[in-house]
Amino acid sequence: MAEGEPIRVVVTGAAGQIAYSLISMIANGDVFGKEQSVILHLLDIPPAMGVLEGVCMEIDDLALPLVKGYVKTTEPELAFKDVDAAFLVGAMPRREGMERKDLLSANVKIFKVQGEALNKYAKKDVKVLVVGNPANTNALICSFYAPSIPKENFTAMTRLDQNRAQSAIAKRLGLCVSNVKNVTIWGNHSSTQFPDVFNASVKLPGSSKSVYDSINDSQWLESDFIKTIQTRGAAVIQARKMSSAMSAAKAAVDHMRDWWSGTSEGSWVSMGVISDGSYGVPKGLIYSLPVSISNKQWKIVQGLKITDFAKNKLDLTAKELLEEKEEAMAVCNA
């Protein structure tokens, strides 16, 4: 890419609540850097075009120099044409009392259509982040219908879970979130996910200690903490009567920024990525794993400690993803 040339970034569900926060952060350079100009491709469905018109007025009114233009459309062909990065947000959110997988039959076909469109129209090195739920399985379906794009280019968002876990640990210790490193989310962005602090550390100037030793309360760490992170999305819905949006947009920014710019030495982040059999996870699922990133390529971090307690949790969330995969393929083939 020539220096100074804008990149094309698609946001689907552009009239929705997550996109409302996300678009301004992309436009401000929070994802691709303060030197990288962007052309925004904004996709939504016909009934949302009025709202999207208002969003576009606000993009103008932001008066941000990195925005070199935008495309507002209901057509996947236009939305995905030549894009370098894709935030696939557009999908139905769950309501109180639902699990995310209850959205599968309503949402998975969106990702079939968008996979086909990415396959035909996007750049072959496009980086795809699926936010719409159930995110892991939607990402898998999207990749399945885009066979000309490497499977490594399709990811699902579990960064919100990572941020939640990091924040909960920091709060418990009375520290800043930046002191808590390498919390890992394993598996599905669902209530079977395993937020793992066995391999996480607390870093203070001149010292580093494991989160486990710092908290020194295995009962809390192995029970309440895990449950709280697993059910945090539902707790936000119960309180707000709408699903998380501000924190989801920030997590999408964190995920794509790190994919674009890399992780620092010795640290990793969690992303739903195509599994290769590492840690005994069945191959070919989009499963959240610890990854380090350089040159815009992620690599699964190897050699982390997996206790029997952790292994059971890794297997349980893999089982759910296998079931979701089967159901999603059946819906797409129907």
132 belongs to an annotated ligand binding site: yes
Per-residue contact string for residues 213-242; x = within reach of ligand NAD by CB under 6 A:
------------------------------
Q: Which does 115 bind (CB under 5 to 8 A by kind): ligand NAD, ligand LMR, none?
A: none
How are beta strands 38-43 and 67-73 bridged, if at all?
parallel
Taking the least distance from each CB to ligand NAD, the nearer of 17 and 167 is 17
Q: Which of 44, 84, 258, 320 binds ligand NAD (CB under 6 A)?
A: 44
Residues 89-108 that bind ligand NAD (CB under 6 A): 89-94
Strand partners, 121: none
Gap between the Cα atoms of 302 and 317, Å rounded: 19
Q: Which residue is nearest to ligand LMR (CB)?
A: 233
32 alpha carbon, distance to own chain's centre: 16
- 311-317 long-range contacts (CB < 8 A, ≥24 apart) are 311/280, 313/186, 313/187, 313/192, 313/194, 314/186, 314/187, 314/194, 314/279, 314/280, 314/281, 315/280, 316/187, 316/192, 316/194, 317/186, 317/187, 317/188, 317/190, 317/192, 317/193, 317/194, 317/287
Shortest approach of ligand NAD to residue 134 CB, angstroms? 8
C-beta of residue 173 within 8 angstroms of C-beta of residue 215: yes
Per CB under 6 A, the segment of 47-55, 202-210, 233-241, 326-334 that binds ligand LMR is 233-241
Q: DSSP readout, 111-151?
A: HHHHHHHHHHHS-TT-EEEE-SSSHHHHHHHHHHT-TTS-G
- Applying CB under 6 A, among 43, 55, 118, 185 the residue interacting with ligand NAD is 43
Catalytic residues: 189
Collect all residues with Cβ–Cβ distance below 8 Å to 180 and sequence separation of at least 6. 166, 169, 170, 173, 200, 201, 202, 203, 211
Q: Does 233 bind ligand LMR (CB under 6 A)?
A: yes
160 makes contact with ligand LMR (CB under 6 A): yes
* Residues between 87 and 106 with contacts to ligand LMR, criterion CB under 6 A: 93-94, 100
- Report the nearest approach of ligand LMR to the CB of residue 229 (Å): 10
Is 243 one of the binding residues for ligand LMR (CB under 6 A)? yes
Give me the residues that bind ligand LMR (CB under 6 A), please.
93-94, 100, 133, 160, 233-234, 236-237, 243-244, 248
Q: Which residues bind ligand NAD (CB under 6 A)?
A: 12-13, 15-18, 43-45, 48, 89-94, 110, 131-133, 135, 157, 160, 189, 243-245, 248
